[in-house]
Amino acid sequence: GIQKIDIKVVKKAVEELEAAMSLEPSHTAHYPALAKAYLAVKRKDKAAEVLKACLELKDGDDPAQHELEVEECRRLTAKHKL
């Protein structure tokens, strides 16, 4: 079934993920998570910015995880036509 999203919780997640990204910009996992949070609060413009930044990263702090996260960013970009 469809879950009701608590906007306050998602907005708090956005704040925390933005802070995490500013502290660890090479930690690729933050990018798709933040993009999903932005999409949940109807900020497609901000999601697009984050996904673009993810796709421009040359490498992340965890090479094994980097490609998986970049692929998730590609998938989100296509799915939401960003």
Per-residue pLDDT reduced to its tens digit, 24-36: 999 999 999 999 9
pLDDT, position 73: 97
Per-residue pLDDT reduced to its tens digit, 34-66: 999 999 999 999 999 999 999 998 888 888 899
pTM for the whole thing?
A: 0.88
Decide: 45 and 10 in contact? Cβ < 8 Å: no
pLDDT, position 1: 45
* DSSP secondary structure letters along 57-74: -S--SSHHHHHHHHHHHH
pLDDT, position 21: 94
Residue spans of alpha helices (H) in 1-82: 7-23, 30-40, 44-56, 63-79
